[in-house]
Structure 1
Amino acid sequence: MEDILSAKARAKVNLHLQVLNKRSDNFHNLLTIMCEIELYDLLKLKSFKRGSEKFGISVDIDSGEYSHHLQGLPCEENLIVRGVKNLFRDYPEPLDMRFSLIKNIPSGAGLGGGSSDAACAINLAAKAIGISDYNRLHEAATATGSDVPFFLKGGLCIAKGRGEILKRIEVSHRFFVVMVNNGIHISTAEAYRKLNRNFDEIPEDEITQKEKELISTLEKVESWKDIFINDFEGPVFALYPELKTLKEKFYDNGAFFSLMSGSGSTVYGLFYRREDALLSMEKLKREGNRCFFAEMIAT
């Protein structure tokens, strides 16, 4: 049976990203705002079979500009495989599933491509088997990666904890995003080490107050530049000053807001008008940058 189910696995940008402190489990507590954008991989569940001799998941990398990023990746390290295995950890019978992926989101770029693929696979596998319990999907997503739960909800969310405590927020904005990723690889683990956060507990009421302030700011677009930050910009820009220059160029080109997404290395600019976004992208392309264009999905 071919193409049982398919779905878009959308990318995200971080509008705000604070790393609060280190946890006893060696993860970090975050306070972040993430928003889906209309740049996506396409994931298909090609076939599945119940009652197999053993549990099996395979992923065929069909095509896409960044399919080469996954070539040679061991199956057990693929987040799609890990996500589906987490979903069926206690399933009573072996299953065999075959996925295919068209990879359009660059890997290791701060855009959440691998996490989105995993969330999409969890959703498709659950639909195929008839699992509708969101808590079960969320548990599998949390076990797979810190950003994966966000992609189950989608839209625009503020996230706490490792990223698994989510609140979806409806806003009236729909902006245009230009992203630049020139292939600089940023080690997320190294970026966290550079921040050197300690284990000091931050009072919950302090986090709650900051969360309220961030939510309030979402409707005050003119304040984003002054209030929204990404803690990773400091250490990453120190290593790669050309990324800081890109951020400055976005403002020179008319963006009302610019930030690095995740731990990098994608830097993006937001524009009110499509025409201005496309004009900025053409300027950046002429300077030799690898650019992407998308719309924000904030509703």
Structure 2
Amino acid sequence: MHEAIRLKAGCKINLWLVIKGVLENGYHELETVFYPLSDPHDTLVVTPREGQGIVFTCSDSALDGQDNLVVRAYTTYAEATGFAPGIDVYLEKVVPTGAGLGGGSSDAAAMLRYLDQSARQSGEKGLALDALIDIAAGLGADVPVFLLGKPALATGIGEKLVSVAIDMTGMTLVLACPDVHVSTAWAYKAYDEHVASREAEKIDDEDLTSRLRRHTHMPFQNGVMLYNSFEEVVFSQYPEICRLKEILLTNGALGALMTGSGAAVFGLFHQAEAARNVKCSLDKSGIRTYLAHLG
């Protein structure tokens, strides 16, 4: 009997997210800075077995089935390489869906890493990182960064990655996850209808790409680097998310931002005690929160 392997799949926040336009293929061109978090995290319990193919189940029945990104990652890798080991996969789902944390993308990346490592261990030829990232990009814009596993500037649809060193030493992060599900497809459509139809966004100072190319370390000062194109339309539809950001800012956060297309919001604190206090307050109000000491 084969022993089960537990794969940890974390999540991410976006410190900066600008929608630059729509490409001919219908995807949106982005400029975003991803920052990976180890918690909250999902767990993939993988049990090897004889034969080929994947049998997939999930703790959340709504996410069960062949459309799950874990299954799609397996199928795509198998089609690209011919390596299709027999595995049973059980996904313990913890990262909230519709929160902008990339949980599903992280799950897919964990599956791709597992398959590539297994291929190498079995004597098969694994894929170069660039090839693996190409597969990941075909699954979703957020998947490639989880293969990189470190802070990164992403452009294109998220597949063009450049590692960046971001200095947040000594900061404490509070991640608040309200019981709200924001559809990414809806958020893009709302943005296109209500924001992109206006004159293109203007960002003060030189663009982020130029700044990252000139600097190795990017310390945060007064939250000036935090920006998200989605906030305008999402806050208009879901004012409770906006209020959550305001709570973080009025309780000592240096900066606060909605991540991805929402609904999760994070705050960055210099004072760990202030971070713990606001986490405690939000917990009592029924908002699921996580605390992380950075740097």
TM-score by length of 2: 0.86
Residue equivalent to 1:205 = none
CA 73–248 in structure 1, closer or farther in 2 if over 3 Å, else same = closer
Once the two structures are superposed, the pairs formed by residues 117-136 of structure 1 within 5 Å of their partners are 117-130=107-120, 131-136=126-131
Residue equivalent to 1:115 = 105
Once the two structures are superposed, the pairs formed by residues 129-148 of structure 1 within 5 Å of their partners are 129-130=119-120, 131-148=126-143
Residue equivalent to 1:190 = 186
Residue equivalent to 1:219 = 218
1:61-103 alpha-carbon deviations (Å, 9 max, x no partner): 3xxxxx33xx143522110111121111133465322222222
Q: 1:260 aligns with which of 249, 253, 258?
A: 258
The answer to whether the Cα contact below 8 Å between 1:15 and 1:34 also exists between their aligned partners in 2 is yes
- In the alignment, is residue 180 of structure 1 matched against residue 176 of structure 2? yes
- In the alignment of these two chains, the number of paired residues is 279
Give 3-state SS (helix, strand or coil) of 1:294's partner: strand
Q: Structure 2: state its 5+ residue gaps.
A: 121-125
Residue equivalent to 2:91 = 101
CA 194–73 in structure 1, closer or farther in 2 if over 3 Å, else same = same
- Once the two structures are overlaid, the 10-residue window that deviates more, 73-82 or 18-27, is 73-82
Residue equivalent to 1:233 = 231
Q: Report which structure shows greater RCO (CA 8 Å, sep ≥6).
A: 1
Structure 2: distance between partners of 1:115 and 1:251? 29
The letter of the residue matching 1:250 is L
Structure 1: distance between partners of 2:166 and 2:219? 11
CA 104–166 in structure 1, closer or farther in 2 if over 3 Å, else same = same
Give 3-state SS (helix, strand or coil) of 2:227's partner: coil
Give 3-state SS (helix, strand or coil) of 1:139's partner: helix
The answer to whether the Cα contact below 8 Å between 1:58 and 1:75 also exists between their aligned partners in 2 is no
Structure 1: distance between partners of 2:31 and 2:239? 25
Residue equivalent to 1:294 = 292
Q: Structure 1: state its 5+ residue gaps.
A: 62-66, 203-207
Give 3-state SS (helix, strand or coil) of 1:193's partner: helix
TM-score by length of 1: 0.85
Q: 2:56 aligns with which of 56, 59, 63?
A: 59
Residue equivalent to 2:148 = 153
Structure 2: distance between partners of 1:3 and 1:269? 40
What is the CA RMSD across the aligned residues, in angstroms? 2.5
The letter of the residue matching 2:36 is E
